[in-house]
Amino acid sequence: MINAIIETGGKQYSVNVGDVLQVEKLEKNIGDKIIFDALFINDESQIKFGKNANNVKVSAEVTGQGKADKIIVFKYNPKKRTRKKYGHRQPFTEIKITEIK
């Protein structure tokens, strides 16, 4: 099994073929193909990273767009009568890894 590390949205993800993961929102439609450059490759015979892994591409397909669960942010200063409450839902893109080559 080939394991790869890709970078998108300022974060790195360890992926295998068939993995479904949620990444930071990408401006793509459902069904679009995305190609990522691999930062690190581990197949069972050898390990490649840096310039050796630059020619390895990871293909993925967009399977959905959505928003994560709401988080509540509550700021409170005691003795000053200040309260602030608001929520946030982070948008994401769901992708499925189809090929590592």
Res 52: pLDDT: 83
Res 12: pLDDT: 97
Which residue in the block uniquely carries the two structure tokens 């990273």? 49
Domain count, the chain: 1
Q: Which residues pair with 60 in a beta bridge?
A: 34, 97
pTM of the model: 0.85
Res 7: pLDDT: 96
Q: Contact 61/33 with Cβ under 8 angstroms? A: yes
What average pLDDT does the segment 29-53 reach? Answer: 92
Grouping H, G, I as helix, E, B as strand and the rest as coil, residue 93 is: strand
Q: 1: pLDDT confidence band, cut at 50, 70 and 90?
A: confident
The first and second tokens of residue 52, run together, are 């050796």
Q: Contact 24/93 with Cβ under 8 angstroms? A: yes
Domain extent, residue 9, equals 3-100
Res 44: pLDDT: 86
Q: Is the pLDDT of residue 43 over 90?
A: no
What are 44-100's pLDDT values in tens digits?
889 999 888 878 999 999 999 999 999 999 999 999 999 999 999 999 999 999 999
Res 74: pLDDT: 97
Q: Is the pLDDT of residue 11 over 90?
A: yes
